[in-house]
Structure 1
Amino acid sequence: MLEARKKVEAELKEYPMLKRKETILEYESQHPQHVTEHEVIGALALSHSVQEMAGSAGYISDKTMRIALQFQDETERLNRDASFEIAQELFNVRRKMKKLEFYVSQIPPKQAEVIRKHYFEEYSWPALQKELHVSSRTLINRRDEGLNELATMYQYMEQVTQSSKKTPEQNG
């Protein structure tokens, strides 16, 4: 139980950082930074020998056209990959946040309120005491009870996922 509780508390403490990451990733997905032409030219220039690039001025060979098309394809691929990575990370961050929010919503309201305000909204104990009009001991009790409830849920899900990973022979 202690191990599950430590895991729960670590994930709850991570929530504000997840929220910041979500905001950053959301911005980046709406305003993607595209790979510049100079970056791709530099990368392509390093992948070809100098002799391969040398040619007479004013003449466009098939090789020049092929290089131009490679340049265009590479730029599009890099930009597409970057957008995909941002979208994937945003999905993962939101999934973690939703999991935490859901689990906290399943515990008793007074405990959930303390957990939300302390971990999600980063209230200090004195600010929480003042807002909720309760003693520090009451807050600690509610937090501890809430963390224990969450740890129980985490343990249950861990057991469920562990049993689903076993082969039929192991399940007996």
Structure 2
Amino acid sequence: MTAKEYVVRQLEGYTQLRNDITTLEFELKSLAPFDELQTDDLIETLTFSHPTESPVQESRISDKTAAIALSYHTIGLEQTRDTRLRIASQLEVYQMLANRLDTYLCALYPEDAAVLKKHYFDGLSWQGIADAEQHCIRTVIKRRNRGMKRLTELYDRLARLGALPGVEPSM
């Protein structure tokens, strides 16, 4: 894939990328932490304690129940930790991609960046942008081309450094 194709793909996928970031942030926050207090509460409950801290002397539940519950609790802790790590890792990658594009768009002339954002992020046609800004279509196309050229140069620089696997640097 060329740097220009990569730029177009980044621009076209930006809105979905931001939505994915929001979703991953929510999922990361929603994973309720299993802390030691919860483990202690589970152990206390399984030892059949009363609020007065005196253990129940007789019960029909065997000691195996507590061992099984603690085993499942440990497995749950490990799975939650692994899930958190996978989500955090993916979130970091997505945030880096979005922040890179945001930074590179800020490096463009403001009118060039605005034209690209309106088309790729807001879904306006090139003619729609021209009509909305009361410019001729040639002006919008000129800004689009100038912005795309600059973005391609910036991403091409990364490709030359090997920072974009699968993207071939221009010659």
Code of the aligned partner of 1:148: K
> Larger deviation: 82-91 or 94-103?
82-91
Moved over 3 A (4+): 63-66
Q: Which runs of 5+ in 2 are unaligned?
A: 34-58, 164-171
- The alignment status of 1:93 with 2:94, answered yes or no, reads yes
Q: Would you tell me which structure has more helix in proportion to its own residues?
A: 1
- The alignment status of 1:143 with 2:144, answered yes or no, reads yes
TM-score scaled to structure 1, two decimals? 0.68
1:29 and 1:86 in contact (8 A); partners too: yes
Deviation at 1:10?
1.1
Q: Which runs of 5+ in 1 are unaligned?
A: 35-56, 163-172
Tell me: CA distance 1:107–1:59, structure 2 relative to 1, closer, same or farther (3 Å): closer
Q: Equivalents in 2 of 1:145, 1:83: separation in Å?
A: 42
Question: Deviation digits for residues 9-65 of structure 1, max 9, x if unmatched?
Answer: 11111101101112222222232389xxxxxxxxxxxxxxxxxxxxxx93634x554
Tell me: CA distance 1:14–1:59, structure 2 relative to 1, closer, same or farther (3 Å): closer
Q: Equivalents in 2 of 1:93, 1:67: separation in Å?
A: 39
Tell me: CA distance 1:90–1:142, structure 2 relative to 1, closer, same or farther (3 Å): same
SS at match of 2:161: helix
- The alignment status of 1:133 with 2:134, answered yes or no, reads yes
2:4 and 2:152 in contact (8 A); partners too: yes
Q: Equivalents in 2 of 1:33, 1:124: separation in Å?
A: 44
Equivalence for 2:26: 27
- The alignment status of 1:58 with 2:42, answered yes or no, reads no
Equivalence for 1:67: 68
Code of the aligned partner of 1:83: R
1:16 and 1:122 in contact (8 A); partners too: no
TM-score scaled to structure 2, two decimals? 0.69
Amino-acid identity (%): 28
Q: Equivalents in 2 of 1:78, 1:147: separation in Å?
A: 44
2:116 and 2:144 in contact (8 A); partners too: yes
